[in-house]
């Protein structure tokens, strides 16, 4: 059951969202138990592999170049650095690594080659790899799939109607196209939204309706609470109530019984009791580590303690779908061959210059005349 036929209209879904909270949580918990192991919660890590300088204008995002925020920007990380961080995340219990780059779209350049290498390396560590890199063509999606990409994240953020109030540089349809490109390449889709941006309850339901209208709704639906960052247009948004996040998690759980609902940004504002209700209502994943892309997140130790108190177990990687196979990437192979040839030629040129070294004639000093 990819979506729940009992709630396939906007009216029925809104009515569900507005149910008395504990009844809503109970219904969500009952559905969750039928389709998932309620004790399992996946620990995922989010790593910003390229931070800031993004040409887009997403009103909530501190990485947009046009807003004046105090984030530390950096170019794309080295592959080795990323693999090291992935190793640490795995050692701390994460079974999924999501790599984010602040790009409008993927370009077929050396930076993308690096991402392909990162995906290969992390998949070879037996971790689920997810990327969020902006818009993506079908060919680029295929290349990532061959590298071993497990999931591609591209959020719709909100309803089609409200979206325009937050983002103007990219159309809602373009987002749907990217999701479709990932699908065509056989990559699992991760797509969700942010609540607390000033949207109405109807907009929250509108977001879920956009997924309801897809032939295949996302396998993974992250639900974020806005983290209002100084310098962004949404800096003055009042934080949402914890109850609203619990409602949204529960409604998403009921609407899409098979998908993994991910409790994502905004956990620092929640106490353990509220998070426990989210797990009860069907949240099957959290981001672990003290930082999301650029905003704060609870520390590893705090989460370990919460898992132990609530009796939760970290979910293993590839519990929901088989591990993708890493296949050789023609473009990377050719680039490496070219680089090896260039190094060889440089070395030869150096040796030739050494053997033809100019030896100046010895000139007798004036003293010896």
Give me the active site residues, please.
54, 58, 61, 98, 130, 190, 262
Closer to ligand SF4 by CB, 64 or 131: give it: 64
Q: Does 224 bind ligand SF4 (CB under 6 A)?
A: no
Q: Torsion angle, CA of 197/198/200/206, rounded to 10 degrees?
A: -30
Q: What is the enclosing helix (H) or strand (E) of 189?
A: strand 188-190
Say if residue 34 is exposed, middle or buried (CB neighbours under 10 Å; 0-12, 13-18, 19+).
exposed
From 57-65, 142-150, 231-239, 240-248, give the range in contact with ligand SF4 by CB under 6 A: 57-65
Closer to ligand SF4 by CB, 120 or 297: give it: 297
Closer to ligand SF4 by CB, 54 or 228: give it: 54
Closer to ligand SF4 by CB, 56 or 128: give it: 56
* Distance from the Cα of residue 119 to its chain's centroid: 13
From 55-63, 80-88, 232-240, 258-266, give the range in contact with ligand SF4 by CB under 6 A: 55-63
The closest alpha carbon to 68, from 229, 297, 248, belongs to 229
Distance CA 218, CA 130 (A): 13
Report residue 225 as tokens: 């609470």
How many residues at the interface with ligand SF4, by CB under 6 A? 8
Distance CA 236, CA 215 (A): 37
Using the rule CB under 6 A, which residue among 13, 29, 61, 255 binds ligand SF4?
61
Q: Does 63 bind ligand SF4 (CB under 6 A)?
A: yes
Report residue 368 as tokens: 């010896």
Report residue 300 as tokens: 């590893």
Using the rule CB under 6 A, which residue among 77, 102, 119, 278 binds ligand SF4?
102
CB 107 within 8 A of CB 119: no
Q: Least CB distance from residue 174 to ligand SF4, whole Å?
A: 11
Q: Does 64 bind ligand SF4 (CB under 6 A)?
A: yes
Closer to ligand SF4 by CB, 180 or 202: give it: 180
Interacting residues with ligand SF4 between 116 and 135 (CB under 6 A): 134
* Strand boundaries in 40-155, DSSP class E: 40-50, 96-101, 128-132, 151-153
Q: Does 191 bind ligand SF4 (CB under 6 A)?
A: no
Binding mask 25-54 toward ligand SF4 (x if CB under 6 A, else -) reads: -----------------------------x
From 12-20, 60-68, 110-118, 177-185, give the range in contact with ligand SF4 by CB under 6 A: 60-68
What are 10-13's contacts with CB under 8 Å, separation 24+?
10/202, 10/205, 10/206, 10/209, 13/205, 13/208, 13/209, 13/212, 13/251, 13/255
Kindly list the residues in this chain that would bind ligand SF4 in the complex (CB under 6 A): 54, 56, 58, 61, 63-64, 102, 134
């Amino acid at each position: 059951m990819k979506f729940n036929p009992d709630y396939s209209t906007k009216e029925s879904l809104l009515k569900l969202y507005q149910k008395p909270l504990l009844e809503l949580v109970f219904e969500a918990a009952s559905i969750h138990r039928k389709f998932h192991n309620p004790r399992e919660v996946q620990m995922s890590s989010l790593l910003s592999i390229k931070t800031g300088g993004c040409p887009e204008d997403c009103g909530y995002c501190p990485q947009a170049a046009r807003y004046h925020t105090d984030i530390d920007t950096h170019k794309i990380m080295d592959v080795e650095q990323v693999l090291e961080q992935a190793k640490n995340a795995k050692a701390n219990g994460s079974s999924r690594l999501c790599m984010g780059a602040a790009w409008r779209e993927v370009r077929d350049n050396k930076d993308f080659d690096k991402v392909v290498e990162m995906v290969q390396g992390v998949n070879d560590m037996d971790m689920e790899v997810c990327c969020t890199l902006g818009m993506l063509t079908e060919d680029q999606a295929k290349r990532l799939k061959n590298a071993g990409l497990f999931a591609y994240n591209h959020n719709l953020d909100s309803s089609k109607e409200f979206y325009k109030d937050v983002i103007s540089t990219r159309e809602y349809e373009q987002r749907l196209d990217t999701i479709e490109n990932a699908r065509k390449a056989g990559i699992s889709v991760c797509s969700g939204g942010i609540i607390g941006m000033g949207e109405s309850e109807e907009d929250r339901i509108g977001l879920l309706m956009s997924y309801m209208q897809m032939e295949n709704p996302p396998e993974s639906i992250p639900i974020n609470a806005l983290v209002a960052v100084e310098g962004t247009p949404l800096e003055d948004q009042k934080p949402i109530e914890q109850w609203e996040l619990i409602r949204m998690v529960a409604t998403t759980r009921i609407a899409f019984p098979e998908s993994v609902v991910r409790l994502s940004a905004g956990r620092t504002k929640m106490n353990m009791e509220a998070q426990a209700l989210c797990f009860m209502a069907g949240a099957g994943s959290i981001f672990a580590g003290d930082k999301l892309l650029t905003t704060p997140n609870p520390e590893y130790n705090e989460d370990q303690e919460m898992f132990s108190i609530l009796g939760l177990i970290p979910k293993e990687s590839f519990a929901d779908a088989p591990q993708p196979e890493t296949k050789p990437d023609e473009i990377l192979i050719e680039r490496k061959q070219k680089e090896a040839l260039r190094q060889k030629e440089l070395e030869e040129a150096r040796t030739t210059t050494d053997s033809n070294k100019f030896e100046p004639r010895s000139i007798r000093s004036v003293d010896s005349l």
